[in-house]
């Protein structure tokens, strides 16, 4: 059975302190799938046909997660059996989660240990903020969170918030993202 893509995340965790202010509202995929302790170093590969301009921003997003978690990441060639793959697809691309063309879903990723991260090739992407385009690194930060086991957060400003507008960049993790990954892996 294929784990659900990011829009199917379940099991919300809320923490409240002092006067009802929400300080954490992260979620996990149903069943709390995680990478085993023997796989805290994950390899990733860009599949054939990816735009060259995507590689730097995606690699930077992996390094941001590494700087804030117990995970490390390294890029390998696609023929070296990577743990994670990054690719661009259109419409029905064989994962039971077809893309919908421009507008709507811009990317999706699957829960551990599936390892697939797909951008919708019909969307307009950019490196950095550009009106009418989605920042490659911002989208990668969000989808890598799913690859590690995080669902969506209701905290606006969290990288795991379920939506982002075009022309926006967010190249760091929010405290809610970090609390969520630490809670999931008990670190």
Task: Detail the residues annotated as belonging to a binding site for Ca(2+).
Answer: 83, 100-101, 120, 123
Which parts are annotated binding residues? 83, 93, 95, 100-101, 108, 118, 120, 123, 142, 146, 152, 160
Measured distance between the N- and C-terminal CA atoms of the chain, rounded to whole angstroms: 28
Cα(10)–Cα(30) distance, integer angstroms: 5
Q: What is the DSSP string of 32-76?
A: -----GGGSEEEEEEPTT--HHHHHHHHHHHHHHHHHSS-EEEE-
Q: What is the rounded CA–CA span in Å between residue 57 and residue 137?
A: 5
What's 180's DSSP letter?
H
Tokens linked to 27: 């979620």
d(CA 133, CA 180): 28
Residues taking part in catalysis: 143
Contact 82, 43 (CB under 8 A): yes
């Amino acid at each position: 059975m294929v784990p659900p893509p990011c829009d199917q995340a379940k099991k919300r965790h809320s923490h409240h302190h002092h006067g009802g202010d929400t300080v954490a509202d992260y979620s996990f995929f149903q069943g709390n799938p995680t990478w085993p302790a023997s796989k805290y170093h994950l390899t990733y590969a860009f599949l054939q046909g990816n735009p060259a301009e995507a590689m730097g921003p995606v690699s930077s997003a992996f390094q941001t997660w590494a700087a804030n978690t117990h995970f490390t990441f390294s890029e390998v060639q696609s023929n070296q059996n990577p743990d994670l793959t990054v690719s661009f697809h259109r419409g029905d691309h064989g994962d039971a989660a077809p893309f919908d063309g421009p507008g709507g879903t811009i990317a999706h990723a699957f829960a551990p240990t599936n390892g697939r991260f797909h951008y919708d090739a019909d969307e307009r992407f950019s490196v950095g903020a550009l009106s009418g385009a989605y920042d490659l690194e911002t989208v990668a930060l969000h989808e890598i969170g799913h690859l590690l086991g995080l669902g969506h957060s209701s905290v606006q400003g969290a990288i795991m918030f379920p939506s982002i507008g075009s022309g926006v960049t967010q190249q760091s993790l929010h405290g809610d993202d970090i609390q969520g990954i630490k809670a999931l892996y008990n670190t």
